[in-house]
Amino acid sequence: MKKNKEKDNTLIKRKGLSLFVKSIGIKRISPKALNLIEKTIKNNLEILLDNSRENATINGRKTITEEDIKNAQEKKEETLEI
């Protein structure tokens, strides 16, 4: 098996991600598809955290709370509907 040179697995380890994919019932997945999944998860997490930080700042806090994350998820869902 040829090694994939373009690894970007700092957030989620590739082995854990591939085991999760297999637990869902997908038998095989290409390395490029795993890279795309990793990048998508990272981008979505960045958007979620940015919105959460914005909510905390608006409320005059430095600490992100569970409520901020819930509000950020709702905000993200609203933008996806448009």
Where residue 75 falls among pLDDT bands split at 50, 70, 90?
A: confident
* CA-closest candidate to residue 38, choices 53, 23, 16, 22: 16
Q: Is residue 41, in this structure, part of any structural domain at all?
A: yes
pLDDT band with cut points at 50, 70 and 90 for residue 10: low
- Domain tally for the chain? 1
**Rounded distance, CA 31 to CA 45, Å?**
21
Q: Is 41 helix (H, G, I), strand (E, B) or coil?
A: helix
- Specify whether the CB–CB gap between 45 and 11 falls below 8 A: yes
Q: What is the mean pLDDT of residues 17-29?
A: 91
CA distance linking residue 72 with residue 11, whole number of Å? 20
Domain range for 52: 30-81
Asked whether residue 52 is domain-assigned, the answer is yes
Give the whole-number percent of the chain exceeding pLDDT 90: 39
In a domain, 10, yes or no: no
